[in-house]
Amino acid sequence: MLPFRSRKRKKPPEPELNQPLATEATPENQENPSLSSSLAENLTTLQSVFANCTDLVYRELKIGQEQVPALLLYMDGITDEKTVNQDILKSLVNIRYSNPEGSGFNNIGMIKSVFMEIGNITEISTIGEVVEGVLTGNVALLLEGDARVLKIGTKAPIGRIVSEPITDGVVRGPREGFTESLRTNTTLLRRKIKDPNLKLEKVVLGRTTKTEVNIAYLEGIANPKVVAEVKKRIALIDVDSVLESAYIEEMIEDKPFSIFPQIDHSERPDKIAAGILQGQVAIFTDGTPFVLIVPTMMLHFMQSSEDYYDRSIYASWIRVVRFLFLNFALLLPALYIAVTTFHQGLLPTALLINIAAARVGAPFPTIIEVLTMEVTFEALREAGIRLPKPVGQAVSIVGGLVIGEAAVQAGMVSPITVIVVALTGISSFCIPSYSFALAIRILRFGMIILASTFGLYGMLLGLLVMQAHLVSLRSFGVPYFAPLAPFNLKDMKDSVMRLPWWAMGERPRLTANNTNNNRQRQKFFLKPAPPDENG
């Protein structure tokens, strides 16, 4: 593997992964008062913190034969009311214990170890811990005469059920997709990888949102340097809110101003599991079904999960088709402009005559026609996404047909221009990754401008600059254009073509840990074969 390189950042020393991030000095952060043994004093403090919070529930009760005052504190809506009523309240009301010393029942530890019938219980001792626990869906149990509080895990299952992914559709393969629930998503991953070496490390981001993030990797298979770099970059994030994984993506990518995405994301558990099994690191964010996967190479954006569920012959052919139409999506309008404007001699005479005849009476030059139709096509595509689903599909398809036909009938554009733009739009849909397809769509306009100015020489200049940029990119220390540059023959078995599973005995060298024996995932060329005629 090439020497690991990371970005240089002028940042203060990073905090530990599971510790709260340092913020500016404010009265709230300077001190986190401990709880008092007086229930009334604690209640007064918490009521001032949660002032004007109408969804906060205060449930007062008395427990034990001594009728010791107690208080349950939880948020309505994010706490499971059924668990509170049937497990917590029932356990507390049924306590029939009296302190033989006569000092009353004031032992939080005894409630935790003897009477409570819930597994996820933690003792806490500060106001800040109580506030954080309540805001994340837990129940806080306060008792008169004890300065400790029980934080009882009762988070309500919020969000949609596991359903088929919307953005990563396949014909053959699992139909389950990630949801907005972090624990549901990690459970789906655990169902795929039943190995204790699958590590899930927690970190909380966002001073206000307190968003939980999990870093998932296979210990012994993932490159330790990549794992350490992921932890370092995430620990340096100091913002007030993290509402989606895109917040994290923009803050940890190597080249923020590059047009190419350097971090892949997916809402398919099988794709994330496959990435982890070959040494990549996944980043789960609570509140979104999209999971980040690093490091990422450009070829990953051209691969689909379905490539590994079809036979290798079919998958290889489809990948070749994708790369062919990737070139169409990037270069076809520019090539049309360059040839018809500067290099007419490259066209066969019959085709040149037909193109010239189709353009008779066209009021605008080719560059204006192509730009107008391309912008219109982008607008129709955006409108189809933003409108309600049943209406959006009709607008994007029917709108394109109607506008294209009307423009030709009105003599505003030539028919060949409509064909080129339509074929270009269809080609961009063949790219599996939406973010990578968006980069190609933007670069297409740059190629159009270069072709209209310098012809084929401008296109070649643009391709050289783009190629140089791709070769210089890195994703968490891994070359972005690998295994093509630097060329690695062994990793080419799963690139433009895909060899059969029995021929891919090793994990990719640039992502897997090369310091141990875990790089080999199966015996080489372990191909099942039927018995011979004499067997």
DSSP letters for 338-382: HHHHT-GGGS-HHHHHHHHHHTTT-SS-HHHHHHHHHHHHHHHHH
* Position with higher pLDDT, 113 vs 460: 460
Residue 332 falls inside a structural domain: yes
| Cα separation, 179 vs 289, whole angstroms | 5
Quote the pLDDT of residue 16. Answer: 45
Number of C-beta neighbours around residue 420 at 10 A: 23
Question: Which of 96-105, 256-265, 427-436 is predicted least confidently?
Answer: 96-105
Q: Which of 152, 175, 190 is the last residue of a domain?
A: 152
Residue 497 falls inside a structural domain: no
Q: pLDDT confidence of 23, banded at 50, 70, 90?
A: very low
Per-residue pLDDT tens over the stretch 436-492: 999 999 999 999 999 999 999 999 999 999 999 999 999 998 999 988 888 888 888
Residue 534 falls inside a structural domain: no
Q: What ranges make up the beta strands (E) of 413-535?
A: 474-475, 478-479
Distances (CA, A) of 493 to 62, 142, 497: 69, 61, 7
Quote the pLDDT of residue 125. Answer: 86
Q: Which of 128, 152, 176 is the last residue of a domain?
A: 152
Per-residue pLDDT tens over the stretch 335-389: 999 998 898 888 888 888 888 887 777 788 889 989 988 898 888 888 777 777 6
Residue 418 falls inside a structural domain: yes
Residue 264 falls inside a structural domain: no
DSSP per residue, 161-213: PP---SSS--SSS------S-HHHHHHHHHHH---TTEEEEEEEE-TTT-EEE
| Cα separation, 260 vs 22, whole angstroms | 32
- Percentage of the chain lying above the pLDDT 70 cut: 87
Q: pLDDT confidence of 401, banded at 50, 70, 90?
A: low
Q: Looking at the predicted structure, is the pLDDT value of residue 230 above 80?
A: yes
Residue 201 falls inside a structural domain: no
Q: Looking at the predicted structure, is the pLDDT value of residue 432 above 80?
A: yes
Question: Which of 142-146, 286-290, 412-416, 530-534 is predicted least confidently?
Answer: 530-534
DSSP, collapsed to helix, strand or coil, labels residue 68 as strand
The one-letter amino acid code at 19 reads: Q
| Cα separation, 249 vs 247, whole angstroms | 6
Length of the chain: 535
Task: At 325, list the tokens.
Answer: 């139409």
The one-letter amino acid code at 323 reads: F
* Residue pair 483/495 in contact by the 8 Å Cβ criterion: yes
| Cα separation, 382 vs 450, whole angstroms | 25
DSSP state of 507: -
Quote the pLDDT of residue 103. Answer: 46
| Cα separation, 67 vs 91, whole angstroms | 15
DSSP per residue, 268-322: -HHHHHHHHHTT-EEEEETT-S-EEEES--GGGGG--GGGGTS-HHHHHHHHHHH
C-alpha 150: how far from chain center: 34
Averaged pLDDT score across all residues of the chain: 83
Query: Order of strands across the sheet with 281-285?
Result: 198-205, 211-218, 281-285, 291-294, 264-266
Q: Looking at the predicted structure, is the pLDDT value of residue 530 above 80?
A: no
| Cα separation, 326 vs 65, whole angstroms | 76
Q: pLDDT confidence of 99, banded at 50, 70, 90?
A: low
Quote the pLDDT of residue 409. Answer: 76
The DSSP bridge partners found for residue 69 are 62
DSSP, collapsed to helix, strand or coil, labels residue 259 as coil
DSSP, collapsed to helix, strand or coil, labels residue 117 as coil
Q: What is the mean pLDDT of residues 328-333?
A: 94
| Cα separation, 298 vs 529, whole angstroms | 35
- Cα–Cα nearest to 523, from 509, 503, 500, 494: 503
Task: At 291, list the tokens.
Answer: 């999971």
Residue 162 falls inside a structural domain: no
Considering its fold, how many domains does the chain have in total?
2
- With both helix axes pointing from N to C terminus, report the angle between 366-386 and 389-409 in degrees, rounded to the nearest 10: 160
- Cα–Cα nearest to 49, from 135, 108, 154, 121: 135
| Cα separation, 292 vs 237, whole angstroms | 16
Q: Which domain holds residue 117?
A: 36-152
Residue 203 falls inside a structural domain: no
Quote the pLDDT of residue 415. Answer: 85
Per-residue pLDDT tens over the stretch 158-177: 777 888 888 888 888 888 99
Number of C-beta neighbours around residue 151 at 10 A: 20
Quote the pLDDT of residue 237. Answer: 93
Q: Looking at the predicted structure, is the pLDDT value of residue 25 above 50?
A: no
| CA-based max dimension of the chain | 108
C-alpha 239: how far from chain center: 19
* Residue pair 181/158 in contact by the 8 Å Cβ criterion: yes
Task: At 416, list the tokens.
Answer: 């060949």
Quote the pLDDT of residue 68. Answer: 83
Q: Which of 479, 496, 511 is the last residue of a domain?
A: 479
- Percentage of the chain lying above the pLDDT 90 cut: 36
- Cα–Cα nearest to 267, from 176, 345, 347: 176
Cis status of the peptide bond prior to 295, with omega within 30 of 0 = yes
* Residue pair 381/399 in contact by the 8 Å Cβ criterion: no
